[in-house]
Amino acid sequence: MKFERKDLPAGTPVVGMIGGGQLARMTQETAVALGIQLRVLAEGPTVSAAQAVADAPVGDYRDPETVRRFAAEADVVTFDHEHVPTELLHELEAAGIAVRPGPDALVHAQDKAVMRQRLDAFDAPAPAHQVVASRDDIADFAKRIGGFPIILKTTRGGYDGKGVWVAESAEDPVVDEAFAANVPILAEEKVDFVRELSAIVARSPHGQAVAYPIVESVQENGICVEVTAPAPGLAPDKAAQAQQTALRIAKELGVVGILAVEMFEARDGRLLVNELAMRPHNTGHWSIDGAVTSQFENHLRAVLDLPLGSPAARAPYTVMVNVLGGDDESTADMHYGLLHCLARDPGLKVHLYGKSVKPGRKVGHVTAYGDDLDDVRERARHAAAYLTGTIDE
Amino acid sequence: MKFERKDLPAGTPVVGMIGGGQLARMTQETAVALGIQLRVLAEGPTVSAAQAVADAPVGDYRDPETVRRFAAEADVVTFDHEHVPTELLHELEAAGIAVRPGPDALVHAQDKAVMRQRLDAFDAPAPAHQVVASRDDIADFAKRIGGFPIILKTTRGGYDGKGVWVAESAEDPVVDEAFAANVPILAEEKVDFVRELSAIVARSPHGQAVAYPIVESVQENGICVEVTAPAPGLAPDKAAQAQQTALRIAKELGVVGILAVEMFEARDGRLLVNELAMRPHNTGHWSIDGAVTSQFENHLRAVLDLPLGSPAARAPYTVMVNVLGGDDESTADMHYGLLHCLARDPGLKVHLYGKSVKPGRKVGHVTAYGDDLDDVRERARHAAAYLTGTIDE
C-alpha cells in the first residue's frame, strides 16, 4: 500500500472496499470529504475506482490469500459488489476483521432462495415463489398460483436482467436455459405491477437506521434506467409501509451499511419485495445531489459505526437517469457530449464513471432537481439521451 | 504516472494541479464525479491531496524541469496555490501548454503592488495605497491619507495574516520587521470597515463567467474562520456592485478559473478591494454543500473550457466554519470528535483534509445550511468548536 497508517493523520479510518466499479468510485467522493482513506481491491489496474483512489491493489476477490491480505490493512471491509464467497467472509470475521455487511446478512443478497425463505419467516410481503428443480415443479408451481406466465431466476449470480426469464409454459425453451445455468432456480409469480419502487435504508452496527424517501425506478430490459425521488403520487401510508418493510428487513437480517429493497407496487395495491442489495444501489444515486446525506456517505458512516446523516431530500423532485453506452462510435468520447449538456442546463449534475463506452454499459448518470417534475424529468432525460447518442441536439 | 492516457476512457480530460493541499484534495471530489483525471504535483508523498488521487508525483514547484515534466502529461495546468514563479509559467505557455489561470493574470494574485496598479487603471474601488521604500515614504503616505495607523504589507508571499502589519507611526518597530522581509512593501489605508465580504466568480477562457452570492467572512488573526452565504442584510444593489466588481476584475485581468475578491465593507458605505486569489478560496468552501455547483467544480469546468454551472445557493443560509487544530492533545484524533458532532446534528456536513493537527492549522471545515440563520450559525460554530477542542460537549 502507498499509504500506511503512519502516513495518515491520527485516527484516520481506513476502509477497504472489495471491487473497483463505479460504486467504489462514487464512495471515494465522500471518503475524500470525510477524511476517510478508501482502498479498493480492484479487478484490474485501470478500473473505474482505481483511477480515483491512491491505493487500489489488483487482486481476485475469490482468492482467500488476496482478500485476507487486503482486509488486514483496513479497519473495516465492505463491498462494491456481492460476489465475494460467503465462506471467505466467515473466515475473515473469525480472524477478527470487521466485515460490513457481514456474511450472515450478505448471503441474503447473494442467494435469492435464502432471501425468500428468510423473509417468509417474518412475513415480509413477497410474490409467491418456490425453488424448482424440474419441469414438473414448474408446472405444479404455476398451477398453485393460477397459471403461467411465471418468472424463473437463478438464485445466485444474476444482475441487470441477466439470470431472469419469463416462462409461458413448462415447455417454454427458456426453461432449458434457466436449468442450464447450473445453480438452483427460483420460480416466482409474475406480478402485475403498476411500477417499481425502491426503499433504501442505512443501518449501523449498533442498530441506528435511517430511511431514504421511497423512489420510483424504471427498468428497461432488466436495467435500471431512471429514478424519481420521491415516487410521484405515492400515498404517504404506502411510502411509510415501504420504509418500514426495508427497515424491518435490515434489522432482521442484521444488515450494516446500505440496504436497497426493490419492490413492486402491484395493481392490487400490495407492495412486494423483489430484490435486495447490500451496498450503495443504482436507485440511490439521486441522493448524491438530491439528499442531505448521500447513500455513499451513509454507507461509509454505517460501516464505520459513525452516526448516520439525514436522508432527507433537498428538493421537491430529483430525477436520475443512467447514461448507457451508445451504439454509435461518435458517443465514445463522453466528454465531448458534456459541452452541449452543460451549456443547455447550468443546473445539471453529470457523473461519469471513467469507463470506456460499450453499447448498453452503464458509463455514468445525470441528475436534475427542482420543483416541477415534468421539467426536471425532461432535463435529466434529455441530457442522458444526448450523452448516450440517441438524440443529437 | 500510474494512469497514462491509454489507460483512460476516450476523451478523459487530464488536469494537472500544482500543489497538494486541501484545495487540490477538494477538487478531487468533483473531478471523480465528472470523470476528470486529476493529478497533483505534491510537496511530499503524504500531503493532503496525495492521499486522495491516483497520481501524485512529488516535486518542487520552483524547479523548471519538474514542472515542465508534470505539465507535459496534462491537458491543462492549474494551481492549489499561487507560488509558482511567473517566468516558469511563461515558459510553459510558450511551449504550448495551457496554464490556467495564465501568468499574465496570476501575477496580480502573486504581487500586491502589481495588483493595485492594474486595478487603479480601471478605477476598481480600493483603499489608498503606495509602495514605500523608507520611513520617509511611510510618513509621507500617512500624511497624504490623514494620518496613522496605516497597514504595511509584503507585496509577495504573505498569507493567512503573515506579511501584514499595522504601523502606528513611522517609528513603529513593525516598520523594521516589514522592511526586513526583503520584498517591496505596500502601504495601505487602514480601512474602517463594518465587515469583510468576498466575491467569488468563475471565468472560462472564452469569457463565460458566473458570480456566486456575495458572502460575509470573519477573520481572526488574519485567518478566515467563518463564512456566511449570502452576506446577511447586504443590500441587493451593494451585492450586485460587489459581483460586478469581481466580474470586471476577472475580465480585465483575463482570469481563467475561480477568482476570489476579498473586500471591505467600509463604514462610509464603500466596497473596497482588499485581496485577490486565483484558485478555489476558503470563502467559497460553503459552495460544496450550499450551491448548485461548487467552486471546485466550476474551477475545473473553467480551466477545461466547459460551460459553467449555476452558482446559485441551494438554501436560504449556509454557514461554513473552519476547523483549526487545537492546542490540546485530545483533539489530535479528529475522527473521534465526529462521533459527537454527527450524532448531535444529522444535517451537518464535515470536511476533513487528511492533515495532522497542529495548533491553529486549518485541518477541515464544517458546513450547515437551513432557513434560520441563527440556528445554522450555531450548528456550524458548535461543531467546529467541538472538533477544535474549545468546547467539550
Q: What are the tens digits of pLDDT across the range A219-274? A: 988 888 999 999 999 999 999 999 999 999 999 999 999 999 999 999 999 999 99
Whether the CB of B21 is below 8 Å from some CB of chain A: the reply is no
Instruction: Enumerate residues 282 to 341 of chain A having a beta carbon within 8 A of any beta carbon in chain B.
Output: 288, 292-293, 301, 306-310, 312, 314, 332-336, 338-339
Whether the CB of B342 is below 8 Å from some CB of chain A: the reply is yes
Residues A137, A139, A144, A148: what is their CA dihedral angle, to the nearest 10 degrees?
130
- Calpha distance A157→B328 (Å, rounded): 52
List residues bridging with A218 in a β-sheet: A226
> Mean pLDDT throughout A116-127?
96
Residues of chain B contacting residue A351, judged by C-beta atoms under 8 Å apart: 33-35
- Calpha distance B17→B77 (Å, rounded): 6
Query: Which grid cell sits at A269?
Result: 395495491
> Mean pLDDT throughout A92-103?
96
CA distance B79 to chain A (A): 19
Q: What is residue A130's predicted lDDT score, i.e. its pLDDT?
A: 97
Q: What percent of chain B has pLDDT over 70?
A: 98
> Mean pLDDT throughout A342-363?
95
Residue of A nearest to B13 (CA): A335
Residues of chain A contacting residue B13, judged by C-beta atoms under 8 Å apart: 335
Contact at CB, B51 and A54, closer than 8 angstroms:
yes
Q: What percent of chain B has pLDDT over 90?
A: 90
Contact at CB, A334 and B9, closer than 8 angstroms:
yes
How many angstroms from the chain centroid is the CA of residue B192?
A: 23
Contact at CB, B347 and A301, closer than 8 angstroms:
no
Start-to-end CA distance of chain A, whole Å, equals: 46
Contact at CB, A32 and B34, closer than 8 angstroms:
no
Residue of A nearest to B285 (CA): A33
pLDDT band at residue A157 under the 50/70/90 scheme:
confident
Contact at CB, A350 and B34, closer than 8 angstroms:
yes
Whether the CB of A207 is below 8 Å from some CB of chain B: the reply is no
- Calpha distance B21→B159 (Å, rounded): 14
Q: What is the DSSP letter of B309?
A: P
Whether the CB of B206 is below 8 Å from some CB of chain A: the reply is no
Task: List the single best residue of A51, A286, A289, A320 to mutate versus B (max B Cβ within 10 A).
Answer: A51
Give the one of B37, B335, B342 whose C-beta lies nearest to A35's C-beta. Answer: B335
Whether the CB of A375 is below 8 Å from some CB of chain B: the reply is no
**pLDDT at A151 exceeding the cut of 90:** yes
Whether the CB of B159 is below 8 Å from some CB of chain A: the reply is no
Q: What is residue A162's predicted lDDT score, i.e. its pLDDT?
A: 83
CA distance A150 to chain B (A): 40
Cβ A34 vs Cβ B367: under 8 Å: no
Residues of chain B contacting residue A320, judged by C-beta atoms under 8 Å apart: none
Residues of chain A contacting residue B356, judged by C-beta atoms under 8 Å apart: 9-10
Give the one of B32, B332, B339 whose C-beta lies nearest to A306's C-beta. Answer: B339
- Calpha distance A274→A205 (Å, rounded): 25
Give the one of A10, A293, A338 whose C-beta lies nearest to B332's C-beta. Answer: A10
> Mean pLDDT throughout A47-75?
97
Q: What is residue A389's predicted lDDT score, i.e. its pLDDT?
A: 87
Q: What percent of chain A has pLDDT over 70?
A: 98
**pLDDT at A333 exceeding the cut of 90:** no
Contact at CB, B335 and A11, closer than 8 angstroms:
yes
Domains of chain B: 5-99 (3.40.50.20), 128-189 (3.30.1490.20), 193-388 (3.30.470.20)
Pairing assessment for the beta strands B150-154 and B185-189 based on DSSP bridges: antiparallel
Other beta carbons less than 10 A from residue A145's beta carbon: 17
Query: Which grid cell sits at B321?
Result: 466554519
> Mean pLDDT throughout A140-151?
97
Q: Which amino acid is at A259?
A: L
> Mean pLDDT throughout A328-336?
76
Which one, of A221, A296, A206, A291, lies nearest residue A260 by Cα?
Answer: A296
Compute CA distances B241 → A4, B124, B254, B263, whole Å: 50, 11, 20, 12
- Calpha distance A144→A189 (Å, rounded): 10
Residues of chain B contacting residue A386, judged by C-beta atoms under 8 Å apart: none
Q: Which three-class secondary structure state does DSSP give residue A156?
A: coil
The interface predicted TM-score (ipTM) is 0.96
Low-confidence ranges of chain B (pLDDT < 50): none
- Calpha distance B242→B263 (Å, rounded): 8
Q: What is residue A69's predicted lDDT score, i.e. its pLDDT?
A: 96
Residues of chain B contacting residue A347, judged by C-beta atoms under 8 Å apart: 292, 309-310, 312
Whether the CB of A1 is below 8 Å from some CB of chain B: the reply is no
Q: What is residue A13's predicted lDDT score, i.e. its pLDDT?
A: 96
Task: List the single best residue of B43, B51, B301, B331 to mutate versus A (max A Cβ within 10 A).
Answer: B51
Which one, of A199, A204, A198, lies nearest residue A308 by Cα?
Answer: A204
Instruction: Enumerate residues 225 to 264 of chain B having a beta carbon within 8 A of any beta carbon in chain A.
Output: none
User: CA quadruple B385, B390, B392, B393: dihedral positive or negative?
Assistant: negative
Query: Which grid cell sits at A138?
Result: 414448474
- Calpha distance B347→B344 (Å, rounded): 9
- Average model confidence (pLDDT) across chain A: 95
Which one, of B46, B45, B53, B60, lies nearest residue B25 by Cα?
Answer: B53
Query: Which grid cell sits at B240?
Result: 450586485
Contact at CB, B7 and A306, closer than 8 angstroms:
no
